[in-house]
Amino acid sequence: MPVTTVATLNLFNRDAEWERRFPLVVEQLLELRPDAIGFQEIDLMLDQGMWIARRVNAALRKYRTAHPEESFRASEGGAEWRLEGYRLRHAASPGKMASIHGIGTMARIECLEHEILDLMTHDRIAQRLVLQVDGAPFVFVNTHLHHPPEATDDRVRQLERILAWLDRDDRGLPTVVLGDFNSYVEEPAVAFMKKRFRSAYETAHGKEPDWTWTTPVNKWDNSPHGTLDYIYVSPHFKVLDAALAFNRASPDDPELYPSDHLGVWAKLSF
């Protein structure tokens, strides 16, 4: 039975002392080691996503060299693909915020397809990848919706466009849609998604997280705290586990987190 772990994190681009936050992102990503993670607010001018991928891959190579017996056991068990390095696929916003509103998916499992959708409003986009684990393909969608709290209708329209895009593929593949939806739990966008998908976190815990935004890293935005980040899964999947991620502050500074968002991860079986 194929099993995969997916995650999402808004990186908050280069704001709020990125050079200090970067090691926290890498450390906590290495602990989680998802098969695929969707990032939002990647700073493309800084090549921020590649900073992460290179550092993580270097750490994985060092670990494999020090523990070759684990590589052998994984190969015998048919899971050697999970010991290979990550590859990052970017998508750039079409508007003025292109450099800091990029998104990207970093995966250490095979990618069969990758395409980008312009959501046609507010310079927002989505990525659609077909990933494969143990020979089983599934669709992985990463997105970042429009952010003002009052833009509830705009977010629903953006989601309608994403789902219409997915419906053009008649293969009926298992599907994960994740990212920063900028939508509080009680919003129409969340209700819209739950008509067709399950929230992985809610399925595992009976409710959504109390909050995924904001951490002390963001000292500028006075919007209400709450849950904005979700992993939605189609009925093909069984949710084995789900939890928050990137939720640990620096041991040297209790106000320094990997980002102004917390991440979410889910372990899924087909």
Q: pLDDT tens digits, residue range 44-96?
A: 999 999 999 999 999 999 887 887 766 544 444 444 445 469 999 999 988 88
Residue 218: CATH number of its domain: 3.60.10.10
State residue 72's pLDDT score.
Answer: 44
Predicted TM-score (pTM) of this structure? 0.94
State residue 98's pLDDT score.
Answer: 82
**Domain limits for position 22:** 3-269
Distance (Å, whole) CA 38 – CA 49: 11
Q: Please give the helix or strand (H or E) that residue 42 lies within, else none.
A: strand 36-42
Residue 86: exposed, middle, or buried by beta-carbon count in 10 A (0-12, 13-18, 19+)? buried
**Domain count of the fold of the chain:** 1
190: left (phi over 0), alpha (psi -120 to 50) or beta: alpha
Q: For every residue of 125-190, which 3-state class applies, written as one string?
A: EEEEEEEEECCEEEEEEEEECCCCCCCHHHHHHHHHHHHHHHHCCCCCCCEEEEEECCCCCCCHHH
